[in-house]
């Protein structure tokens, strides 16, 4: 399987390198372009639809591998998982491609995303179905009335999370690649060969596209790419980690820590400032870092570093679940990350540049601590 995985990665990488220039020409021909405006950071018309190159290279290689891999190595359940990912992913890529060209209504996109999630749940019977009691070993079945809506919510939520950070050249693709690499690492730890193989192929597809998408970009992934990568992340993280609880569910949440936290702070920011929740703004993480004076490339690399940190925490937590300290370590990691996220958000002003409750509290506590030490 190692040789198959390496071959799949190389094939997907090569295909993406070949297909992306063709998709670029196609995007210009059909008018799927991104026109600069006050909220955009680019200054010239750019082709979209880059997600088609990622999707096509990934899908073609996966289908080829399914034909090559013997049945004794590819169980029927694994083929079912792959079928769910490809079928739902096809619906999502078509939705994204149409949106790249025609700017579809937000409500219509949301309904189609729910439809894609329902295909996964009802068409392929894939859903979260087990609950693990925190700090214990008891496993209990999760009723369908909870498991089904939770699965649909997870798929739709993660699908849209990647789209929100797609604001700089190479940002969404790079963060997605880091998240996929993290899932691949955890798949190795947990012995889930199907998740590892799919992650390797998708990683090759993303990196091949990223060659043309990193600053200065020659093509954007568009909604087609952002939605497809978000859907793929939702599926792969869910397939590998279906023991759901407040504690164990932290693992897939950490994988998408950057887009998830950016989405959370965007909701809080718009609510605090009494702005429509669905209205785009220039208050996202990458906008705030650029406003602090960081260049386009440095901003992207810094966010890569944050994503890698989240991914490393996820891999560590996954490895520790096999020990008796896994839940406690996860709990500590949650507390530390929440604290660091709040401090970071206040420092860069991602919610409100004038509100720094935790930093102000620490500043008031510091003189008291110093006076006691004297």
Q: Kindly give the pairing relationship between strand 46-47 and strand 130-132.
A: unpaired
Q: What is the pLDDT of residue 142?
A: 57
Detail the DSSP E strand segments found in the chain. Answer: 33-34, 46-47, 130-132, 139-141, 243-244
Domain coordinates in residue numbering, the chain: 2-373
What 3-state DSSP class applies to 219?
A: coil
Q: What is the pLDDT of residue 29?
A: 95
- What is the rounded average pLDDT of the residues 168-187? 90
Nearest to 19 by CA among 64, 59, 54, 65: 54
| Residue 163 annotated in ligand binding | yes
What 3-state DSSP class applies to 220?
A: coil
Which DSSP state fits 295? -
Least confident of 30-39, 191-200, 277-286: 277-286
| Predicted confidence (pLDDT) at residue 115 exceeds the cutoff of 70 | yes
Q: Kindly give the pairing relationship between strand 243-244 and strand 130-132.
A: parallel
Which DSSP state fits 42? -
Residue 351 CA, distance from chain mean position:
21
Q: What is the pLDDT of residue 47?
A: 94
Q: Percent of the chain having pLDDT more than 70? A: 82
What whole-number distance in Å separates Cα of residue 124 and Cα of residue 81? Answer: 8
- Tell me: cis bond preceding 216? Omega within 30 of 0 counts: yes
What whole-number distance in Å separates Cα of residue 327 and Cα of residue 335? Answer: 12
What whole-number distance in Å separates Cα of residue 32 and Cα of residue 279? Answer: 22
| Predicted confidence (pLDDT) at residue 103 exceeds the cutoff of 60 | yes
Least confident of 106-115, 134-143, 169-178, 282-291: 134-143
- Per-residue exposure over 11-31, b if at least 16 CB sit within 10 Å of its own CB, e if not: bbbebbbebbeebbeebbeee
More confident residue, 203 or 82: 203
Q: What is the pLDDT of residue 39?
A: 57
| Predicted confidence (pLDDT) at residue 369 exceeds the cutoff of 80 | no
CA neighbours closer than 13 Å in the CB half-sphere of residue 284: 26
What whole-number distance in Å separates Cα of residue 235 and Cα of residue 81? Answer: 9
More confident residue, 360 or 117: 117
What whole-number distance in Å separates Cα of residue 11 and Cα of residue 36? Answer: 35
Q: What is the pLDDT of residue 250?
A: 63
Q: Kindly give the pairing relationship between strand 130-132 and strand 139-141.
A: antiparallel
The answer to whether the predicted template modeling score (pTM) of the entire model surpasses 0.95 is: no
What whole-number distance in Å separates Cα of residue 335 and Cα of residue 340? Answer: 9
How far CA 147 is from CA of 128, 144, 256, in Å, comes to 5, 5, 21
Question: What's the token pair of residue 320?
Answer: 């520790």
What 3-state DSSP class applies to 130?
A: strand
Q: What is the pLDDT of residue 133?
A: 46
Question: What's the token pair of residue 33?
Answer: 């372009």
pLDDT digits (tens, 9 = 90+) for 149-161: 988 998 998 898 8
Quickly tell me which residue has 């192929």 as its tokens. Answer: 201
- Per-residue exposure over 231-240, b if at least 16 CB sit within 10 Å of its own CB, e if not: bbbbbbbbbb
| Predicted confidence (pLDDT) at residue 202 exceeds the cutoff of 70 | yes
Question: What's the token pair of residue 169?
Answer: 């050249």
208 contacts 53 by C-beta, under 8 angstroms: yes
What whole-number distance in Å separates Cα of residue 41 and Cα of residue 248? Answer: 38
Residue 73, phi then psi, degrees to nearest 5: -100, -20
pLDDT digits (tens, 9 = 90+) for 306-359: 999 888 887 777 777 666 555 666 677 778 888 888 888 888 888 777 778 888
């Amino acid at each position: 399987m190692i040789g198959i995985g390496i071959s799949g990665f190389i094939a997907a990488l090569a295909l993406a390198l070949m297909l992306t220039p063709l998709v670029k020409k196609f995007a210009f021909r059909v008018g799927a372009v991104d026109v600069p405006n006050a909220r955009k950071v680019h200054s010239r018309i750019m082709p979209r639809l880059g997600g088609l190159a990622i999707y096509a290279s990934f899908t073609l290689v996966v289908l080829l591998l399914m034909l090559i891999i013997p049945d004794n190595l590819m169980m029927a359940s694994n083929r079912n998982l792959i079928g769910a990912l490809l079928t739902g992913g096809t619906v999502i890529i078509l939705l994204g491609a149409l949106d790249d060209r025609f700017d579809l209504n937000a409500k219509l996109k949301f309904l189609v995303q729910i439809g894609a999630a329902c295909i996964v749940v009802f068409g392929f019977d894939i859903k979260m179905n087990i609950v693990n009691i925190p700090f214990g070993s008891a496993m209990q079945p999760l009723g369908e009335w909870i498991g089904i809506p939770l699965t649909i919510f997870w798929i739709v939520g993660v699908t849209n999370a990647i789209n929100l950070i797609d604001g700089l050249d190479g940002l969404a693709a790079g963060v997605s690649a880091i998240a996929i690499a993290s899932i691949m690492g955890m798949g190795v730890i947990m012995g889930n060969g199907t998740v590892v193989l799919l992650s390797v192929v998708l990683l090759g597809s993303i990196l091949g596209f990223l060659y043309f998408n990193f600053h200065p970009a020659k093509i954007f992934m568009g909604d087609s790419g952002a939605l497809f990568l978000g859907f793929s992340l939702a599926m792969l993280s869910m397939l590998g980690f279906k023991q759901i609880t407040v504690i164990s569910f932290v693992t897939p949440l950490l994988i998408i820590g950057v887009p998830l936290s950016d989405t959370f702070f965007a909701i809080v920011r718009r609510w605090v400032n009494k702005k429509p929740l669905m209205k785009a703004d220039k208050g996202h993480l990458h906008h705030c870092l650029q406003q602090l004076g960081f260049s386009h490339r440095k901003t992207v690399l810094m966010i890569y570093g944050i994503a890698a940190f989240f991914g490393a925490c996820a891999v560590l937590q996954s490895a520790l679940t096999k020990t008796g300290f896994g839940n406690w370590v996860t709990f500590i990691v949650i507390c530390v990350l929440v604290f660091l996220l709040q401090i970071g958000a206040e420092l860069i002003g991602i919610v409100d540049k004038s509100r720094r409750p935790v930093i102000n509290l620490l500043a008031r506590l510091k003189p008291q601590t110093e006076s006691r030490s004297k």
